[in-house]
Amino acid sequence: MAVFESIARHLRSRRGWRGGATAVGLGALAALALPPVHLVPVLLLSLPGLLLLAGSRASARGAGWMGFWWGFGFHLFGLYWITEAILIEAAQFWWLVPLAVPALSVVMAVFVAVPAAVAWRFAPGWPRMLGFAGLFVLGEMLRGVVLTGFPWNPLGSVWAFGALFLQPAAWVGVFGLSLMTLVVFLAPLRGWRSAAGAGLGLAVWAGLGAVRLAAPEPPVQLPGVVVVQGNIPQDRKWDRAMLADHFRRYLTLTAQGLREVGQPAVVVWPETASPYLLDRDTVARQMIAAAAGGATVLAGSVRFDAQDRPRNSLVAVTGDGAAAAIYDKAHLVPFGEYQPSWARVGVQLVRGDGFAPGPGPVTLHVPGLPPVGPSICYEAIFAGAVVDAADRPGWMVNVTNDAWFGNSAGPYQHLAAARLRAVEEGLPLVRAANTGISAVFDARGRTVARLGIGETGVITAPLPDSLPGTLFSRAGNFSAIAAALVMLIFAGTCTIKRRSSKIG
């Protein structure tokens, strides 16, 4: 603990630009705990360091600036991969390269700055620590809804390197995991006894995960599943001269996968895998049906609605070539799929009005398949918003095209989010990604099968059965919100009592 005390004194002494630079560095350090690195122990320095910097300022405003700079470093390094997408269209959007990620990081940093500023007003010790933890997690939730929401990289996702530490998400969701993470890694600020208590808590956390994972596995469902990963580079994906070749690749891989699986199966293609409009193109659907030999194919496809607006869709093509069901993506990507009305500042980043959104989470009932809850691309990052609770499906499917982001951290972070949805909802999840990472997870978040980035091929796997509805599937984020509010009440009450005792 002597080393820890020495570090604490050094951090408290940092003033002016040195304090801000230190906060940025600590935030960047915390980003190493995110997928795919998962260097979780760095939080033992980064999180206490943030609170030490904030708590040693002379005012709440100074504490808020420390939180802002920490959040800026965390998101700048955690979201660097967004630049990969811009570079694909660098000829048109080159000017965004030095602006996009820093600008987004500035916005995201506000959700750390406010908790740091408010927590400064709480009494030092456990009141400030727990108050900050509660505020931090409420901030994570808030950034999931403000300006259409971007809840990427919640702190709880650092545990997605395996299924063990993810299991409490079935009760409290990813934001509950964030809260638990903050408490565990801030505890050493109160000395070695609290650090030991945090270590014991982490052991209990792992024990609960082990008990849940040791429970009997649910039986597999029929049919099995074939996931097709076409591995089409983004800069070639919409080349008109290559569209037919891309389509044939998916047909060939589909037939190959069905030969391998050796049982009735459902086939899943990634987001916009079909270059043809499957809701209208009868010939394309018949070709898919022929390649699938009667199996149903869930294929990503663009379609146009009655108002001639494009929609990012998932089409269920059955064995007779019919479009038996369609899901339209509801949570669209701002600036990528549509131009937000609140950001019309003379710079148009999408054509026309962009894509039209669908109605929200639905359950598709396709003949011969268990009811399925679909999501497209980054819809999978919205905890509690991927399943129609009134019509609970038997499994989930997430189709995406992460080719935009190359072999960066982005696809790994996206995969972690999808995995967390499986644990939260107690439902198996099948993920088809154009260039990877495609995977099948069971209802406890264990990897059944996986195909890495840059690979062309198929996954063939049994479709795991679902578990009974989890606490999270029924209560959503209520548990995490309630726990955060209890911490805030505790922090406020203790602060008021301490101040009253001093006056008395």
Residue at 166: amino acid letter: L
Query: What span, in angstroms and rounded, lies between the C-alpha atoms of 170 and 469?
Result: 9
Residue at 187: amino acid letter: A
Q: Which residues of the chain have pLDDT under 70?
A: 1-4, 10, 341-352, 503-504
- Write down the pLDDT at residue 337: 79
Active site positions, annotated: 271, 329, 377
State the DSSP string of 47-102.
HHHHHHHHHTSSSHHHHHHHHHHHHHHHHHHHSTTHHHHHHHTHHHHGGGTTTHHH
- Specify whether the CB–CB gap between 23 and 39 falls below 8 A: no
- Write down the pLDDT at residue 84: 86
DSSP 380: G
Residue carrying structure tokens 């591995």: 231
Q: Is 363 helix (H, G, I), strand (E, B) or coil?
A: coil
Say how many C-beta atoms besides its own lie within 10 A of residue 417's C-beta.
24
- Write down the pLDDT at residue 3: 60
Query: What span, in angstroms and rounded, lies between the C-alpha atoms of 492 and 59?
Result: 18
- Write down the pLDDT at residue 504: 55
Alpha-carbon dihedral of residues 365, 422, 108, 57, nearest 10 degrees? 150
- Write down the pLDDT at residue 354: 83
Query: What span, in angstroms and rounded, lies between the C-alpha atoms of 238 and 245?
Result: 11
In the chain, what are the domains?
A: 2-214+477-503 (no CATH), 220-466 (3.60.110.10)
In 3D space, the residue among 177, 162, 178 whose CA is nearest the CA of residue 213 turns out to be: 162
Query: What span, in angstroms and rounded, lies between the C-alpha atoms of 474 and 225?
Result: 27
In 3D space, the residue among 496, 375, 397, 444 whose CA is nearest the CA of residue 123 turns out to be: 496
- Write down the pLDDT at residue 219: 78
- Specify whether the CB–CB gap between 370 and 395 falls below 8 A: yes
